[in-house]
Amino acid sequence: MQDLFYFSQSGVIPYRIHDERLQILLITSVKKKRWIIPKGFVELRLTAFESAKKEAYEEAGIIGTGEDFELGSYEIQKQTGRIEVRVFPLLVTKLLDIYPDVNVRQRKWYNYEDAIGIVDNPLMAKLFHTLKEKVFN
């Protein structure tokens, strides 16, 4: 079957170091309540990284710092097409109590190993491993 659409999105892996361990902040998707990373379509006049940081604020109430380097990407296959998500690291410096999706999504910190086990996309889990290598090297 040929893809009817192909879109590009960007997202961040929000992280912190807590008790010398890497922790990743995950959020729930709106419809299926799966644990995911903040992501969305790249907005006009914004770089992929800037757009991903904006999504992190809107979906998870995250303020953070990061370098504009891509950890990698993963794909989401839909019935009629696919979406490629370019992923960047974001060191969380502040969690807000009030943000646009506060009543729509849950957010939770997971230790690195637990985060790998809870996401249902093996390519996303691989990006968590890439993040760990970059943070601790």
* CATH code of 28's domain: 3.90.79.10
Instruction: Read off the pTM.
Output: 0.92
Q: CA 135 to CA 137: how far, in whole Å?
A: 6
pLDDT at 3: 53
> How many angstroms separate the Cα of 124 from the Cα of each of 3, 25, 73, 110?
22, 13, 8, 14
E strand or H helix at 29, and its extent? none
Length of the chain: 137
Structure tokens at 127: 């990006």
The structural domain count of the chain equals: 1
Instruction: Determine the Cα–Cα distance for residues 95 and 23; give it in Å rounded to an integer.
Output: 14
50-96 per-position pLDDT tens digit = 999 999 999 999 999 987 789 999 888 877 788 899 999 999 999 99
